[in-house]
Amino acid sequence: MTFPAQLPIPNEVLKIATKLEDAGYETWCVGGAIRDNLLGLQNHDFALTTSAPPAEVQKIFKRTVPVGIEHGTVAVLDSANQPHEVTTFRKDIHTDGRHAVVEFGVSLMDDLARRDFTINAIAYHPIRHEWRDPFQGEQDVAKKLIRSVGDPNWRFQEDYLRILRALRFSARFEFRIHARTLEAAKANAQGLAQLSAERVRDEWFKGIKTAKKLSKLVTLWRDVGAARIWLPEVSGNEQRDTGHVDKMPRDPVLVTAILAGDAASLLIRLKCSNRDVERGRAVGAWRERYPDPKDRGAVRRWLAATGEFADDLLNVLPGLGVSRVVHSVSRLADVVKEIRTAHEPLSLKDLAVRGDDLIVAGVRPGPEVGETLQRLLDEVLEDPKRNTREYLLSRV
Protein backbone atom coordinates (compact mmCIF):
# COMPACT_ATOMS: atom_id res chain seq x y z
CA MET A 1 0.00 0.00 0.00
CA THR A 2 1.15 3.56 -0.73
CA PHE A 3 -0.28 6.79 0.58
CA PRO A 4 -2.82 8.47 -1.69
CA ALA A 5 -1.79 11.85 -3.09
CA GLN A 6 -4.71 13.52 -1.36
CA LEU A 7 -7.48 12.81 1.17
CA PRO A 8 -11.08 14.11 0.92
CA ILE A 9 -10.86 16.65 3.74
CA PRO A 10 -14.22 18.39 4.37
CA ASN A 11 -14.19 22.12 3.66
CA GLU A 12 -15.04 23.06 7.24
CA VAL A 13 -12.08 21.04 8.57
CA LEU A 14 -9.83 22.60 5.95
CA LYS A 15 -10.96 26.10 6.98
CA ILE A 16 -10.08 25.38 10.62
CA ALA A 17 -6.67 23.98 9.69
CA THR A 18 -5.94 26.96 7.39
CA LYS A 19 -6.86 29.46 10.09
CA LEU A 20 -4.56 27.77 12.60
CA GLU A 21 -1.70 27.59 10.09
CA ASP A 22 -2.20 31.26 9.15
CA ALA A 23 -1.90 32.09 12.85
CA GLY A 24 1.49 30.35 12.86
CA TYR A 25 0.47 27.01 14.40
CA GLU A 26 1.41 23.71 12.76
CA THR A 27 -1.76 21.64 12.21
CA TRP A 28 -2.28 18.04 11.02
CA CYS A 29 -5.17 15.60 10.53
CA VAL A 30 -4.89 12.49 12.72
CA GLY A 31 -6.91 9.62 14.11
CA GLY A 32 -9.51 7.17 12.93
CA ALA A 33 -10.54 9.05 9.80
CA ILE A 34 -6.98 8.73 8.42
CA ARG A 35 -6.97 5.00 9.11
CA ASP A 36 -10.45 4.44 7.69
CA ASN A 37 -9.71 6.34 4.47
CA LEU A 38 -6.58 4.24 3.94
CA LEU A 39 -8.82 1.18 4.32
CA GLY A 40 -11.27 2.54 1.76
CA LEU A 41 -13.93 3.18 4.41
CA GLN A 42 -15.97 6.37 4.36
CA ASN A 43 -15.17 8.57 7.33
CA HIS A 44 -15.20 12.37 7.13
CA ASP A 45 -14.84 12.99 10.87
CA PHE A 46 -11.26 14.24 10.66
CA ALA A 47 -9.70 15.29 13.98
CA LEU A 48 -6.96 17.91 14.05
CA THR A 49 -3.83 18.12 16.17
CA THR A 50 -1.95 21.39 16.44
CA SER A 51 0.92 23.19 18.13
CA ALA A 52 -1.55 25.86 19.30
CA PRO A 53 -2.24 25.68 23.06
CA PRO A 54 -5.91 25.23 24.00
CA ALA A 55 -6.24 28.87 25.11
CA GLU A 56 -4.96 30.03 21.72
CA VAL A 57 -7.46 27.80 19.89
CA GLN A 58 -10.23 29.44 21.93
CA LYS A 59 -8.90 32.89 21.00
CA ILE A 60 -8.61 32.15 17.29
CA PHE A 61 -12.15 30.76 16.96
CA LYS A 62 -15.21 32.58 18.23
CA ARG A 63 -17.33 29.51 18.90
CA THR A 64 -15.70 26.67 20.80
CA VAL A 65 -16.63 24.06 23.41
CA PRO A 66 -13.98 22.89 25.95
CA VAL A 67 -14.88 19.20 25.56
CA GLY A 68 -11.61 17.95 27.08
CA ILE A 69 -9.55 21.03 27.67
CA GLU A 70 -7.50 19.46 30.50
CA HIS A 71 -6.21 17.04 27.86
CA GLY A 72 -5.87 19.76 25.24
CA THR A 73 -9.07 19.14 23.27
CA VAL A 74 -11.33 21.96 22.13
CA ALA A 75 -14.32 21.48 19.81
CA VAL A 76 -14.54 24.20 17.18
CA LEU A 77 -18.09 24.79 15.89
CA ASP A 78 -18.45 25.35 12.15
CA SER A 79 -21.10 27.44 10.36
CA ALA A 80 -23.57 24.56 10.61
CA ASN A 81 -22.93 24.21 14.36
CA GLN A 82 -21.08 20.92 13.86
CA PRO A 83 -18.16 20.35 16.28
CA HIS A 84 -14.64 19.52 15.04
CA GLU A 85 -12.09 18.37 17.60
CA VAL A 86 -8.81 20.27 17.76
CA THR A 87 -6.21 18.87 20.17
CA THR A 88 -2.89 20.40 21.15
CA PHE A 89 0.29 18.34 20.59
CA ARG A 90 0.80 16.48 23.86
CA LYS A 91 2.63 13.70 25.60
CA ASP A 92 1.88 11.78 28.79
CA ILE A 93 4.06 12.66 31.78
CA HIS A 94 2.16 10.59 34.34
CA THR A 95 -0.55 7.93 34.22
CA ASP A 96 -2.17 5.52 36.65
CA GLY A 97 -3.60 3.21 33.99
CA ARG A 98 -6.89 5.09 33.91
CA HIS A 99 -6.10 8.80 33.70
CA ALA A 100 -3.12 10.61 32.21
CA VAL A 101 -1.49 13.92 33.06
CA VAL A 102 -0.34 15.48 29.79
CA GLU A 103 2.22 18.07 28.79
CA PHE A 104 1.64 20.51 25.92
CA GLY A 105 4.16 22.34 23.77
CA VAL A 106 5.68 19.21 22.28
CA SER A 107 6.15 18.13 18.66
CA LEU A 108 3.99 16.16 16.25
CA MET A 109 6.41 13.26 16.69
CA ASP A 110 5.87 13.29 20.47
CA ASP A 111 2.12 13.40 19.90
CA LEU A 112 2.14 10.41 17.52
CA ALA A 113 4.44 8.48 19.87
CA ARG A 114 1.81 8.53 22.66
CA ARG A 115 -0.90 6.95 20.51
CA ASP A 116 -2.10 3.40 21.02
CA PHE A 117 -1.54 1.54 17.74
CA THR A 118 0.52 2.18 14.64
CA ILE A 119 -2.57 2.30 12.40
CA ASN A 120 -3.81 5.22 14.53
CA ALA A 121 -0.44 7.05 14.57
CA ILE A 122 -0.45 8.42 11.03
CA ALA A 123 -0.72 12.15 10.31
CA TYR A 124 -1.73 13.99 7.12
CA HIS A 125 -1.25 17.67 6.41
CA PRO A 126 -4.52 18.90 4.87
CA ILE A 127 -2.93 21.88 3.12
CA ARG A 128 0.47 20.59 1.96
CA HIS A 129 -0.78 17.00 1.46
CA GLU A 130 2.21 15.60 3.31
CA TRP A 131 2.25 12.39 5.35
CA ARG A 132 3.99 11.50 8.64
CA ASP A 133 4.19 7.83 9.55
CA PRO A 134 7.07 7.31 12.01
CA PHE A 135 5.85 3.88 13.20
CA GLN A 136 5.05 2.26 9.83
CA GLY A 137 1.31 2.32 10.39
CA GLU A 138 0.67 2.28 6.65
CA GLN A 139 2.54 -1.03 6.38
CA ASP A 140 0.47 -2.49 9.22
CA VAL A 141 -2.75 -1.36 7.49
CA ALA A 142 -1.56 -3.28 4.41
CA LYS A 143 -0.63 -6.32 6.54
CA LYS A 144 -3.95 -6.15 8.43
CA LEU A 145 -2.10 -5.94 11.73
CA ILE A 146 -2.86 -4.37 15.13
CA ARG A 147 0.50 -3.41 16.66
CA SER A 148 1.23 -1.16 19.61
CA VAL A 149 3.27 1.99 19.19
CA GLY A 150 6.55 1.26 20.99
CA ASP A 151 6.60 -1.13 23.96
CA PRO A 152 3.12 -2.72 24.21
CA ASN A 153 3.43 -3.26 27.98
CA TRP A 154 3.98 0.47 28.53
CA ARG A 155 1.20 1.37 26.12
CA PHE A 156 -1.32 -0.78 27.97
CA GLN A 157 -0.13 0.27 31.43
CA GLU A 158 -0.62 3.91 30.41
CA ASP A 159 -4.29 3.16 29.77
CA TYR A 160 -5.66 -0.35 30.19
CA LEU A 161 -8.64 0.50 28.00
CA ARG A 162 -6.26 0.15 25.04
CA ILE A 163 -6.44 -3.62 25.53
CA LEU A 164 -10.16 -3.52 24.78
CA ARG A 165 -9.58 -1.14 21.86
CA ALA A 166 -7.16 -3.67 20.35
CA LEU A 167 -9.86 -6.34 20.56
CA ARG A 168 -12.45 -4.02 19.02
CA PHE A 169 -10.23 -3.02 16.09
CA SER A 170 -9.26 -6.65 15.48
CA ALA A 171 -12.91 -7.76 15.33
CA ARG A 172 -14.02 -4.73 13.32
CA PHE A 173 -11.38 -4.86 10.58
CA GLU A 174 -10.62 -8.60 10.86
CA PHE A 175 -7.00 -7.69 11.59
CA ARG A 176 -4.55 -9.95 13.39
CA ILE A 177 -3.11 -8.69 16.68
CA HIS A 178 0.70 -8.67 16.59
CA ALA A 179 2.18 -11.45 18.76
CA ARG A 180 3.98 -9.12 21.20
CA THR A 181 0.94 -6.85 21.47
CA LEU A 182 -1.37 -9.81 22.15
CA GLU A 183 1.05 -11.25 24.70
CA ALA A 184 1.20 -7.89 26.50
CA ALA A 185 -2.60 -7.60 26.43
CA LYS A 186 -2.93 -10.96 28.19
CA ALA A 187 -0.16 -10.12 30.67
CA ASN A 188 -1.82 -6.82 31.62
CA ALA A 189 -5.46 -7.96 31.54
CA GLN A 190 -5.78 -7.76 35.33
CA GLY A 191 -5.33 -3.99 35.01
CA LEU A 192 -8.74 -3.84 33.32
CA ALA A 193 -10.27 -4.13 36.79
CA GLN A 194 -9.08 -0.56 37.46
CA LEU A 195 -11.22 0.90 34.67
CA SER A 196 -14.59 2.51 35.26
CA ALA A 197 -17.65 0.48 34.33
CA GLU A 198 -18.80 3.23 31.97
CA ARG A 199 -15.60 3.11 29.88
CA VAL A 200 -15.71 -0.68 29.69
CA ARG A 201 -19.40 -0.64 28.77
CA ASP A 202 -18.85 1.89 25.99
CA GLU A 203 -15.98 -0.16 24.54
CA TRP A 204 -17.97 -3.42 24.73
CA PHE A 205 -21.01 -1.81 23.12
CA LYS A 206 -18.89 -0.22 20.36
CA GLY A 207 -17.35 -3.63 19.71
CA ILE A 208 -20.78 -5.22 19.33
CA LYS A 209 -21.90 -2.54 16.88
CA THR A 210 -18.79 -2.67 14.69
CA ALA A 211 -17.49 -6.26 14.74
CA LYS A 212 -17.62 -8.12 11.43
CA LYS A 213 -18.37 -11.28 13.42
CA LEU A 214 -19.59 -11.10 17.00
CA SER A 215 -18.25 -14.58 17.66
CA LYS A 216 -14.75 -13.22 16.93
CA LEU A 217 -15.19 -10.35 19.40
CA VAL A 218 -16.43 -12.68 22.14
CA THR A 219 -13.55 -15.11 21.53
CA LEU A 220 -11.01 -12.27 21.82
CA TRP A 221 -12.51 -11.02 25.10
CA ARG A 222 -12.41 -14.55 26.49
CA ASP A 223 -8.91 -15.39 25.27
CA VAL A 224 -7.30 -12.20 26.58
CA GLY A 225 -9.04 -12.52 29.96
CA ALA A 226 -11.21 -9.40 29.68
CA ALA A 227 -14.46 -11.39 29.85
CA ARG A 228 -13.37 -13.11 33.06
CA ILE A 229 -12.96 -9.73 34.75
CA TRP A 230 -15.89 -7.73 33.35
CA LEU A 231 -18.23 -10.24 31.69
CA PRO A 232 -18.10 -13.37 33.88
CA GLU A 233 -21.66 -14.26 32.83
CA VAL A 234 -20.35 -14.48 29.25
CA SER A 235 -17.01 -16.00 30.22
CA GLY A 236 -18.80 -18.87 31.96
CA ASN A 237 -20.94 -19.55 28.90
CA GLU A 238 -18.27 -20.94 26.54
CA GLN A 239 -20.57 -23.75 25.48
CA ARG A 240 -23.08 -21.30 24.04
CA ASP A 241 -22.88 -21.14 20.23
CA THR A 242 -22.20 -17.46 19.60
CA GLY A 243 -22.36 -17.85 15.81
CA HIS A 244 -26.15 -17.41 15.81
CA VAL A 245 -25.85 -14.01 17.49
CA ASP A 246 -24.60 -12.54 14.20
CA LYS A 247 -28.13 -13.03 12.82
CA MET A 248 -29.55 -10.58 15.37
CA PRO A 249 -29.84 -6.79 15.07
CA ARG A 250 -26.72 -5.15 16.55
CA ASP A 251 -28.48 -3.88 19.65
CA PRO A 252 -25.72 -4.08 22.34
CA VAL A 253 -28.16 -4.68 25.20
CA LEU A 254 -29.93 -7.55 23.44
CA VAL A 255 -26.70 -9.14 22.23
CA THR A 256 -25.32 -8.98 25.77
CA ALA A 257 -28.53 -10.48 27.13
CA ILE A 258 -28.31 -13.46 24.77
CA LEU A 259 -24.62 -14.09 25.48
CA ALA A 260 -24.90 -13.80 29.26
CA GLY A 261 -26.14 -16.39 31.70
CA ASP A 262 -27.52 -13.63 33.96
CA ALA A 263 -28.06 -10.60 31.75
CA ALA A 264 -29.47 -8.29 34.43
CA SER A 265 -26.46 -8.76 36.72
CA LEU A 266 -24.05 -8.05 33.88
CA LEU A 267 -25.90 -4.93 32.72
CA ILE A 268 -26.03 -3.63 36.29
CA ARG A 269 -22.26 -4.14 36.65
CA LEU A 270 -21.73 -2.15 33.45
CA LYS A 271 -23.89 0.63 34.94
CA CYS A 272 -26.49 0.51 32.20
CA SER A 273 -29.73 2.44 32.55
CA ASN A 274 -32.62 0.93 34.51
CA ARG A 275 -34.49 0.58 31.23
CA ASP A 276 -31.70 -1.46 29.64
CA VAL A 277 -31.37 -3.64 32.74
CA GLU A 278 -35.09 -4.44 32.54
CA ARG A 279 -34.76 -5.26 28.83
CA GLY A 280 -32.00 -7.70 29.66
CA ARG A 281 -33.99 -9.17 32.52
CA ALA A 282 -36.98 -9.75 30.21
CA VAL A 283 -34.83 -11.56 27.66
CA GLY A 284 -33.40 -13.78 30.40
CA ALA A 285 -36.88 -14.58 31.74
CA TRP A 286 -38.57 -15.30 28.41
CA ARG A 287 -35.95 -16.65 26.00
CA GLU A 288 -37.00 -20.23 26.76
CA ARG A 289 -40.75 -19.51 26.57
CA TYR A 290 -41.85 -18.57 23.06
CA PRO A 291 -45.43 -19.38 21.96
CA ASP A 292 -46.43 -21.64 19.08
CA PRO A 293 -47.36 -19.23 16.25
CA LYS A 294 -50.08 -21.69 15.21
CA ASP A 295 -51.87 -21.01 18.51
CA ARG A 296 -53.09 -17.42 18.16
CA GLY A 297 -54.47 -17.40 21.70
CA ALA A 298 -51.06 -18.42 23.03
CA VAL A 299 -49.44 -15.60 21.07
CA ARG A 300 -51.92 -13.09 22.51
CA ARG A 301 -51.22 -14.34 26.04
CA TRP A 302 -47.49 -14.08 25.38
CA LEU A 303 -47.85 -10.50 24.10
CA ALA A 304 -49.92 -9.59 27.14
CA ALA A 305 -47.35 -11.05 29.52
CA THR A 306 -44.22 -9.64 27.84
CA GLY A 307 -45.75 -6.22 27.21
CA GLU A 308 -43.24 -3.59 26.07
CA PHE A 309 -40.48 -6.20 25.74
CA ALA A 310 -42.20 -8.32 23.08
CA ASP A 311 -40.32 -6.69 20.19
CA ASP A 312 -36.98 -7.21 21.95
CA LEU A 313 -37.84 -10.88 22.35
CA LEU A 314 -38.69 -11.17 18.65
CA ASN A 315 -35.37 -9.53 17.79
CA VAL A 316 -33.28 -11.93 19.88
CA LEU A 317 -35.04 -15.03 18.57
CA PRO A 318 -32.55 -15.60 15.69
CA GLY A 319 -29.66 -15.38 18.14
CA LEU A 320 -30.91 -18.31 20.22
CA GLY A 321 -29.84 -20.87 17.62
CA VAL A 322 -31.78 -23.23 15.38
CA SER A 323 -31.74 -26.06 17.90
CA ARG A 324 -33.51 -23.92 20.50
CA VAL A 325 -36.09 -22.29 18.26
CA VAL A 326 -38.91 -24.74 17.65
CA HIS A 327 -41.12 -22.46 15.61
CA SER A 328 -40.50 -20.23 12.63
CA VAL A 329 -39.16 -16.81 13.56
CA SER A 330 -40.82 -15.10 10.63
CA ARG A 331 -44.15 -16.84 11.26
CA LEU A 332 -44.29 -15.67 14.88
CA ALA A 333 -43.47 -12.11 13.81
CA ASP A 334 -46.22 -12.28 11.17
CA VAL A 335 -48.82 -13.44 13.70
CA VAL A 336 -47.80 -10.68 16.11
CA LYS A 337 -48.20 -8.13 13.31
CA GLU A 338 -51.65 -9.51 12.42
CA ILE A 339 -52.79 -9.29 16.05
CA ARG A 340 -51.57 -5.73 16.39
CA THR A 341 -53.05 -4.64 13.07
CA ALA A 342 -56.42 -6.05 14.11
CA HIS A 343 -56.12 -4.15 17.44
CA GLU A 344 -56.96 -7.31 19.35
CA PRO A 345 -57.15 -6.63 23.11
CA LEU A 346 -53.93 -7.43 25.00
CA SER A 347 -54.13 -5.50 28.26
CA LEU A 348 -56.60 -4.38 30.93
CA LYS A 349 -56.95 -0.97 29.32
CA ASP A 350 -58.23 -2.70 26.16
CA LEU A 351 -61.19 -4.30 27.97
CA ALA A 352 -64.70 -3.07 27.18
CA VAL A 353 -65.40 -2.62 30.92
CA ARG A 354 -63.66 -0.72 33.74
CA GLY A 355 -63.37 -1.23 37.45
CA ASP A 356 -66.30 1.12 38.11
CA ASP A 357 -68.50 -1.02 35.87
CA LEU A 358 -67.70 -4.07 37.98
CA ILE A 359 -68.51 -2.28 41.23
CA VAL A 360 -71.88 -1.22 39.85
CA ALA A 361 -72.41 -4.86 38.83
CA GLY A 362 -71.86 -5.98 42.43
CA VAL A 363 -68.12 -6.69 42.74
CA ARG A 364 -66.81 -5.62 46.15
CA PRO A 365 -64.44 -2.62 45.92
CA GLY A 366 -60.81 -3.57 46.57
CA PRO A 367 -58.56 -6.40 45.34
CA GLU A 368 -61.53 -8.34 43.94
CA VAL A 369 -61.98 -5.72 41.22
CA GLY A 370 -58.44 -6.21 39.91
CA GLU A 371 -58.66 -9.99 40.16
CA THR A 372 -61.97 -10.00 38.25
CA LEU A 373 -60.60 -7.74 35.51
CA GLN A 374 -57.62 -10.09 35.11
CA ARG A 375 -59.92 -13.12 34.76
CA LEU A 376 -61.97 -11.26 32.14
CA LEU A 377 -58.76 -10.37 30.26
CA ASP A 378 -57.79 -14.06 30.27
CA GLU A 379 -61.10 -14.88 28.57
CA VAL A 380 -60.67 -12.10 26.01
CA LEU A 381 -57.11 -13.18 25.22
CA GLU A 382 -58.50 -16.59 24.39
CA ASP A 383 -61.21 -15.11 22.13
CA PRO A 384 -61.19 -11.34 21.31
CA LYS A 385 -64.84 -11.55 20.22
CA ARG A 386 -65.74 -11.81 23.90
CA ASN A 387 -64.58 -8.25 24.47
CA THR A 388 -68.03 -6.65 24.62
CA ARG A 389 -69.59 -4.88 27.56
CA GLU A 390 -72.61 -7.21 27.54
CA TYR A 391 -70.57 -10.42 27.55
CA LEU A 392 -68.10 -9.30 30.19
CA LEU A 393 -70.78 -8.03 32.57
CA SER A 394 -72.67 -11.28 32.07
CA ARG A 395 -69.52 -13.13 33.18
CA VAL A 396 -69.29 -10.95 36.29
- CA separation for the pair 369, 376 (Å, rounded): 11
Q: What is the pLDDT of residue 193?
A: 97
pLDDT band at 93 (very low <50, low <70, confident <90, very high): low
Q: What share of the chain is helix, strand, coil (3-state, %, to 5)?
A: 55, 10, 30
Give the global pTM.
0.90
pLDDT band at 326 (very low <50, low <70, confident <90, very high): very low
Inter-residue long-range contacts of 272-278, CB under 8 Å, 24+ positions, other chains counted: 272/201, 278/309
**Helix, strand, or coil (residue 290):** coil
Q: What is the pLDDT of residue 148?
A: 98
- CA separation for the pair 35, 141 (Å, rounded): 8
Query: Does the pLDDT at position 94 exceed 80?
Result: no
Q: Does the domain formed by 144-230 have CATH 3.30.70.20? A: no
**Helix, strand, or coil (residue 257):** helix
Please provide the average confidence, as pLDDT, over all residues in the chain: 92
**Helix, strand, or coil (residue 17):** helix
Average pLDDT, integer, range 219-226? 97
pLDDT in tens, 47-67: 999 999 999 999 999 999 999
CB-CB neighbours of 175 under 10 Å: 20
Q: What is the pLDDT of residue 87?
A: 95
Q: What is the pLDDT of residue 146?
A: 98
pLDDT in tens, 60-90: 999 999 998 888 999 999 989 999 999 999 8
Q: What is the pLDDT of residue 99?
A: 59
Query: Does the pLDDT at position 355 exceed 90?
Result: yes
Q: Structurally, what CATH architecture does the domain formed by 1-143 represent?
A: 2-Layer Sandwich (3.30)
Element spanning 197, H or E: helix 197-210
Average pLDDT, integer, range 272-294? 95
Pairing of strands 145-146, 27-30: unpaired
Q: Could you tell me the maximum CA-CA distance found in the chain, to the nearest angstrom?
A: 87
86: left (phi over 0), alpha (psi -120 to 50) or beta: beta
- CA separation for the pair 167, 174 (Å, rounded): 10
Query: Does the pLDDT at position 162 exceed 80?
Result: yes
**Helix, strand, or coil (residue 351):** coil
Question: At 301, which amino acid appears?
Answer: R
| Tally of CA atoms within 13 A in the half-sphere of 203 that contains its CB | 24
CA distances from 72 to 16, 160, 185 (A): 16, 21, 28
